[in-house]
Structure 1
Amino acid sequence: MTRFATRWTLVPALLASAWKQLVSNSLVYIAAITVLQGAVAVIALPLIRWLFRSAVGAAGLRGLEMSSVITLASTPTSVVLLIAVVVVAFIALSFQLAALVLMSTRLQSGLPVTVAGLLADAKALGRLLLRPRSAWLVGYLLVVLPLGNFGFASVLTQAIAVPSFVSGELLKSTTGTILYVLFLLGLALVNARLVLTIPAFVAGEARPLRTSWRMTKGITLPIIVTVSAIILLSTVLISATLALSLLPTALADAVWPAAAPAVASVSLAIAQVLTFLLVGATTAALVSTTVKLYRVGTDWKGPAGIAPIEPESNVASNQDFRRPALLAGATLVTLVAGLSIVNYPVMEALEAHPDTLILGHRGFSGGGVENTIPGLEAAAEAGADLTEMDVLQTKDNQFVVMHDVNLQRLTGQDLAVADLTLEELTALTVTDLAGHSAVIPSLRDYVVRAQELGMPLLIEIKTHGGESPDMVELLIGELEELQAMDNNMFHSLDKPAIERLKQLRPDVYAGYIFALAGVNLPPTTADFVVIEEASYTSGLRDDARANGKGVFVWTVNAPAAQRQMLRDEVDGLITDHPDTALIARNDIDSNPGLTGRLIDAIDRFVVIN
């Protein structure tokens, strides 16, 4: 990178280059982003969904859950179809990014962007993708890049993220927090070092990952700063755009409520289109930046078939695209009109008076340690409708309220619940990161206090592998003695435990927890299903209700996600923050206007990353 005086001159130089490219060739980039993202959404994504559904069906499954993953992985036809899913996703994503790199190279070289030139580039790109060594890019494109959220957006990767229940659990301990922060920092570092992978791949490098790693040595931090600056500017522009899109609906709510649904539908459509363009511009800016950086380091003139680089002053301008601009404008207007029609029933369907139950997850950690009596009392004080809590069997076949099978996180001691008696466990003190402390409660003490508070419970039957064969029977016996079977609910990740509970007490309201759910919900004798937030879809909700099942979702902590579940009127929302969920429910119930619905619809339907 010797063309820059110092490594920190990279930042302004790259930002200036990206800005120049976007301004000079905005119509070209808009057209390219629209075509590429549209092709992925219309062709690749439906094909991937069909292949995945076929893979699940080939294994004889109605839907996917954690316990059926082994069945899926051991069915040859399913494995072949799953490999096809990966191949299609890889080809679509790599072609999308590589095509933008090729186009950016042409623009920076002062070459015309013509249909014939793009087709020639696409043919050359196809040959590159067919090389066996291209397979090394799969992990980078489908795991490292989307997890790092490095700004290269695609409809294929928007759902790839660390599940909130995983990050949430890690953040509940000092060690977990440190590990999670290190993981995020490591992702940022790896993404910065591999940011030139696609330009190197398109340039025909034999080992593009290694090439990028070598070329970015010593300039990692400037790269992170540059990418962060582009993403920050994009976020500000998108936030301003979304805020402005609310004004017409707020005005309609105030002066012409009858027209508010139509106005909100059009406003949502405009927000969707403008955000799509801004996200596309962000990707284009990042691609332009990486191409510039790669060219500076290698004097790259592009793949075979592209003419030598000309001075950047010869870059094609928007004046060459007046006719395409008219076509693009007409397309955008048509798109807004079509989305407005689609959005109208969606806006009307968003629930304005939700009856969703709010459940404090393991109590309320804002006032006490999880699964302790102070945490239970805090949930009651916050106004939660129910408290969700966990039960484990002790060494002497008693029951204790505890989530972790090992007590290291909360007591600092490497002790297993299965190895301790009830007396030994209830003598231990647990402490959380907020500084709350309390003793581990027995099931009996916890239930009695809940009854005194008038707080119904959702009791999770947890297993550690050392339970007695009659564990469920013993649990029922203790709760019946406390007269606590009829007024509380039950759920578990352990399917046999729930089926045994329903067999012995078919009258109780019991649920089956899905840590992973896909396609449809597998059969269960449970009365309701509990779906992890990352797996939840309105399709799964509808499938459950069509089969007479209630729908609970866990662990929903982000305010926007809480409002989404409330708008969907799921039966139960399990959260670490019942206070914010209750505020959201009251707000939705007391403000039935379309502005509030539009805000929640934007949070749900406007894809930003």
Structure 2
Amino acid sequence: MILQLILKQAGYLVPSETRVKVILKQRSLRIRMRQGAAMLLLILVAAGVALYDYAYLEGAMDNRPALISHRGVDDGNGVQNTIPALQKTAREKPDYVEMDIQETKDHQFVVMHDNNLEELAGVNRTVHELTLAELTALTVRENGYSAKIPSFDQYLTAAEKAHQRLLVEIKVSPQDSPQMMTNFIKRYQQRLLKNGDRIHSLSYPVVAALKKQAPRLFVSFILPYNISFPETPANAYTMEATTLNTAFIDQAHAKKQAVYAWTVNDSDVMQRLLLTEVDGIITDNLSDLKAVVAENNDHPSYATRLLIYSSQLAGFSGESEN
């Protein structure tokens, strides 16, 4: 009231007291409305972020990676790359059993990882020095078990009977025949496609030959180190887990290529990888990996996931970790 009198004496046109109250009320209402709108927007954004993070941490937004048994064993339940171990492991229903093949002296294919037979068979000879018949007559021993070395045909047939898909590693040697890849494609392409089996190799010439001669086959290029992102026709990359990071995974996915991590036997690393978009995890301890997946998906610990998520944000997406 006093303010109005002063303004009138100064020659200003002053609204009535009622009008002043209306103006102040309207202004106050507009301020409250703007504050309310801002608060609502903040709440919606916070809720959206919280919902995304919760769903992410609980695994609701993650596709479960393929669970892959390395060399067809689980925690030493048999001799690597043998049929009895395959049959045991297949009962646990991994998505794939990873195994190794090599060319023999007579240009056949045998299931064996090591080039030299000394460690498993006690014979100081290489795979390429022996025929398929000589190799399959040998007994290999490991983890308190023994079994015969199988041909690839025998192993493939056993996998088909068990309805078990394979991730076939093609190992190479300077002694390989020039027609090795042509023979492999001719003999096995249709069976592998029918079974939904996949292939990977540390040899880029093998990867390139397969994608050129049998483009329908799914082929992954094995990389021991994450130095730089390669430009290849491969469908996927099998990356050694020590140097694998989210930047590599994102680059691969941008090019429609999958990423498998190997060989992951530590539960903490398994947990960390489950919080990325890695497409497959290769392990010697399939039952442990299944337990970690079950814990995350069926009985999740939010606090544990939050800790892992925070650690991931702090380091995993930047520099590589163990």
Give the paired residue count: 267
1:388 to 92, 98, 111: 98
Distance 2:219 2:165 in 1: 14
Kept after mapping to 2: 8 A contact 1:458/1:490: yes
| Aligned with residue 419 of structure 1, among 94, 107, 129 | 129
Q: 1:453 aligns with which of 147, 162, 178?
A: 162
Q: C-alpha distance in 1, partners of 2:163/2:308?
A: 33
Match of residue 440 from structure 1: 149
In structure 1, the partner of 2:11 is: none
Pair 1:492-2:201 in alignment: yes
1:575 partner amino acid: T
Q: Name the one with the larger strand percent.
A: 2
Cα distance in 1 for residues equivalent to 2:301 and 2:266: 22
> TM (normalized to structure 1)?
0.41
Shift of 1:414: 1.2
Aligned mate of 1:528, from 236, 242, 263: 236
1:311-326 paired onto structure 2 within 5 Å: none
CA contact (8 A) 1:391 1:400 kept: yes
1:175-186 mapped onto 2 (5 Å cutoff) = none
TM-superposed CA distance for 1:383, in Å, is: 2.5
SS in 2 for 1:587: helix
- Take 1:450 and 1:488, find their aligned partners in 2: how far apart are those partners? 10
Question: What residue in structure 1 maps to residue 3 of structure 2?
Answer: none
Which residue in 2 is equivalent to 1:479? 188
Residue 401 of structure 1: CA displacement?
0.5
The one-character-per-residue Cα deviations of 1:179-209 (angstroms, maximum 9, x if unpaired) are xxxxxxxxxxxxxxxxxxxxxxxxxxxxxxx
- Structure 1 SS opposite 2:242: coil
Runs of 4+ in structure 1 displaced over 6 angstroms? 344-348, 605-609
Q: Distance in 2 between matches of 1:363 and 1:517?
A: 26
**How far apart in 2 are the matches of 1:435 and 1:602?**
42
Matches within 5 A, 1:203-242: none
Preserved CA contact (<8 Å) 1:560 1:603: no
CA apart distance, 1:592: 4.5
Where does 1:7-156 land on structure 2 (aligned, <5 Å)? none
- 1:463 corresponding residue in structure 2: 172
Q: Corresponding residue for 1:601? A: 309
- Asked if 1:554 is matched to 2:262, the reply is yes
Q: What residue is the counterpart of 1:378 in the other structure? A: 88
Distance in 1 (CA, whole Å) between partners of 2:283 and 2:171 is 18
RMSD: 2.5
Is the counterpart of residue 399 in structure 1 residue 109 in structure 2? yes
| Letter of the 2:175 counterpart | G
Q: CA deviation at 1:603?
A: 6.4
Distance 1:378 1:602 in 2: 38
- Segments of 5+ residues of structure 1 without an aligned counterpart are 1-257, 263-343
Post-superposition offset of 1:569: 3.1
The code of the aligned residue for 2:238 comes to V
How far 1:598 sits from its partner (Å)?
Answer: 2.2
**What amino acid maps onto 1:529 in structure 2?**
Y
Picking from 211, 215, 222, the partner of 1:506 is: 215
Shift of 1:547: 1.4
The CA distance in 1 between the partners of 2:289 and 2:205, in whole Å, is 32
Taking the aligned partners of 2:157 and 2:120, their CA distance within structure 1 comes to: 23
Query: Which amino acid is 1:560 matched to?
Result: D
Contact 2:275 2:309 in 1 (8 A): no
Residue identity opposite 1:440 in structure 2: I
Q: Deviations over 1:493-535 (max 9, x none)?
A: 00010110111111111110101122x3110110111110112
Letter in 2 for 1:556: V
Letter in 2 for 1:405: N
- For residue 277 of structure 2, what is the aligned residue in structure 1? 569
Q: In proportion to residue count, which structure has more helix?
A: 1
Q: Does residue 588 of the first structure (1) align with residue 296 of the second (2)?
A: yes
> Is the contact between residue 347 and residue 598 of structure 1 (CA under 8 Å) also seen in structure 2?
no
* Alpha-carbon separation, structure 2, partners of 1:496 and 1:346: 42
Give, in angstroms, the shift of residue 606 of structure 1. Answer: 7.6
3-state SS, counterpart of residue 562 of structure 1 = helix
Supply the distance in 2 between the matched residues of 1:410 and 1:392 (Cα, whole angstroms): 15
Identical counterparts, % of pairs: 36
Q: Distance in 1 between matches of 2:174 and 2:89?
A: 30
Instruction: Give 1:485 shift.
Output: 3.2
| Code of the aligned partner of 2:162 | L
CA contact (8 A) 1:430 1:439 kept: yes
Query: Is the CA contact 2:223–2:239 (under 8 Å) kept in the aligned structure 1?
Result: yes
Q: Could you report, residue by residue, the CA deviation over 1:337-388 in whole angstroms, capped at 9, with x for unpaired residues?
A: xxxxxxx987764461442100000101432111111121122122211100
Counterpart CA distance in 1 for 2:147 and 2:54 is 46
Contact 1:351 1:566 in 2 (8 A): no
Work out which of the residue numbers 130, 138, 148 in structure 2 matches 1:428: 138
Shift of 1:601: 3.3
| SS of alignment partner, residue 485 of structure 1 | helix
- The alignment's TM-score, normalised by the length of structure 2, stands at 0.77
Q: CA deviation at 1:584?
A: 1.1
Structure 1 position 352 matched with structure 2 position 59: yes
Q: Determine the C-alpha separation between the residues in 2 that align with 1:599 and 1:428.
A: 50
Q: CA deviation at 1:605?
A: 6.4
Q: Residue 225 of structure 2: which of 516, 527, 544 is its match?
A: 516
Query: 1:534 is paired with a residue of what secondary structure?
Result: helix
